[in-house]
Amino acid sequence: MTNVAVVGSQWGDEGKGKIVDWLSERADVVVRFQGGHNAGHTLVVDGKVYKLSLLPSGVVRGKLSIIGNGVVIDPWALMSEIETVREQGVKITPETLRIAENATLILPLHGALDRAREAAQGAEKIGTTGRGIGPAYEDKVARRAIRICDLADPDTLPERIENLLTHHNALLRGHGADEIDGAETLDALRGISAELLSYAAPVWRSLDEAYRSSKRILFEGAQGFMLDVDHGTYPFVTSSNTLAGQAAAGSGIAVGGIGYVLGITKAYTTRVGSGPFPSEQDNDIGNLLGERGHEFGTVTGRKRRCGWFDAVLVRQSAKIGGINGIALTKLDVLDGIGDLSVCVGYRYEGTNYDYLPAGRNIQAGIEPIYEVLDGWDQSTQGARSWAELPAAAVKYVRRIEELIGVPVALLSTSPERDDTILVRDPFAA
- The Cα 366–Cα 65 span in angstroms is 42
Whether 13 is catalytic: yes
Radius of gyration of the chain (CA): 22
- The Cα 313–Cα 233 span in angstroms is 11
Of 335, 339, 346, 342, nearest to 402 by C-alpha is: 342
Crossing angle of helices 133-141 and 157-174, in 10° steps, is 120
* ∠ Cα 59 41 382 (to 5°): 100
Catalytic entry in 37, 41, 168, 231? 41
Asked if 341 and 278 touch (Cβ cutoff 8 Å), the reply is no
Catalytic entry in 13, 21, 139, 150? 13
Whether 231 is catalytic: no
- The Cα 10–Cα 316 span in angstroms is 10
Give the strand pairing for 269-271 and 305-307. antiparallel
CB-count exposure of residue 159 (10 Å: 0-12, 13-18, 19+): exposed
Asked if 43 and 18 touch (Cβ cutoff 8 Å), the reply is yes
CB-count exposure of residue 49 (10 Å: 0-12, 13-18, 19+): exposed
Catalytically active residues are: 13, 41
